[in-house]
Amino acid sequence: MSKSDQRLTNIFKNQTKRICSLEFSSKKDINYDLVDTIPFSFCSVIWIGTYDKPPEEIEPIVAAAELIKRGHPTVLHLAARNVNKKTVPKILEYARQVGVRNLLVMRGAAPGCQEPDSTYDFPYSTDLIKFIKIKYGDYFDLCVPGYPYKHPESKTLEEDMKYLKQKNDAGAKFIISQAAFSYEIYKNFLKNCRKFEISMQIIPGVYMIRSVVDFCLLKKLCKVPTNDPVVQFIKDHKGSEDEIAAYGIKISNEVIRKILQDKDFCPPHIYTMNEFASIRDFISNLKLEK
């Protein structure tokens, strides 16, 4: 696939088979040769930290450039509070040069992103989305995160939907959601988005639980409420890693299969934690074709 065809809009329009996409971290080693053996529709590279270095040395961009060179359509994450009006034009221009056509724009959640709004040139993702749209128009397909359980900082569902609607109206086309543990939770999230006239296509994020450690990390990242049935299962079986691993894979398998059958969603996005061998085996067991 040529660089010019790698926007998500084109990928989904031309996709003949509904297959999963993958998220990678540049903070961990990426075995590119192993990645090349996994069938997926596109990948994303997360943005962690502030980089005081030239764009060609920024790890997420380096990883994105290598993936694109290997023919993998790539979404580059970009944290609004980790960039400013001086650095972001250089980042975007270099990203464009290496073939990036998709960006996932987020506020940023690291400790360095918790200062007063006035500290940042782009306090919120909507601010950065507007900046990108003014400078680049429709060159990039823009994505934003979504929280199926509601964003933890939103006091109400209505408040959460209001901010998502602002991103929608600013020009974002896709939501890549945080992970949930049932198809029904994703479906309810989609219904709420449509109720509030949010037209962005939804790419459901899915994560494989393989251990108590995995689950605790995911619960923190995705803000899973304590009354979720999966929380109780983990508590009841915390002494048995094997049972938790089997349960986690079973849940992921069920959720992915249901989403793949539901064309109201884009195909699911798997959070790999760079565990490429496990992900390859998991996808192989789903019997999905490239």
Check whether 133 has a pLDDT greater than 90.
yes
Q: What is residue 219's predicted lDDT score, i.e. its pLDDT?
A: 65
Tens digit of pLDDT for each residue in 26-44? 999 999 999 999 999 999 9
pLDDT for 81 beyond 50: yes
pLDDT at 1 over 60: no
Number of Cβ within 10 Å of residue 196's Cβ equals: 15
With beta carbons less than 8 A apart as the criterion, state whether 222 and 180 touch. yes
Mean pLDDT of 143-161: 92
CATH class of 3-209+263-279: alpha beta
pLDDT at residue 245, as a whole number:
81
Instruction: Please return the burial class of 211, using the count of CB atoms within 10 Å of its CB with bins 0-12, 13-18 and 19+.
Output: middle
Boundaries of every domain in the chain = 3-209+263-279
Number of helices (H), then strands (E), belonging to the chain: the values are 11, 8
> Using an 8 Å Cβ cutoff, are 54 and 87 in contact?
no
- pLDDT confidence band for 289 (50 / 70 / 90): very low
223-249 mean pLDDT = 80
Q: Check residue 229 and give its pLDDT.
A: 80
Higher pLDDT, 247 or 70: 70
Name the pTM for this structure: 0.92
Task: Calculate what percentage of the chain has a pLDDT beyond 90.
Answer: 66
Task: Note the pLDDT of residue 4.
Answer: 52
Top-confidence residue, 103 or 243: 103
Q: What local confidence, expressed as pLDDT, does residue 101 receive?
A: 97
Query: Is the predicted pLDDT of residue 288 greater than 70, yes or no?
Result: no
- Round the average pLDDT of the chain to a whole number and report it: 90
pLDDT tens figures, 88-129:
999 999 999 999 999 999 998 777 788 888 999 999 999 999
Q: Please, are residues 49 and 58 in contact by the beta-carbon 8 Å criterion?
A: no
Q: Which two tokens stand for residue 88?
A: 């972001």
For the chain, report the end-to-end CA distance as a whole number of angstroms. Answer: 13
For position 59, what pLDDT does the model report? 95
Mean pLDDT, residues 200-227 taken together: 77
Task: Judge whether residue 76 has pLDDT over 70.
Answer: yes
pLDDT in tens, 155-213: 999 999 999 999 999 999 999 999 888 899 999 999 999 999 999 999 999 987 777 77
d(CA 18, CA 21): 10
Cα–Cα distance measured from residue 141 to residue 176, given in angstroms and rounded to the nearest whole number: 12
Look at residue 251 in the predicted model and tell me its pLDDT. Answer: 87
Confidence band for 290, pLDDT divided at 50, 70 and 90: very low
Q: What is the DSSP string of 15-33?
A: -SS---EEEE-TTS---HH
Would you state the pLDDT for residue 2? Answer: 46
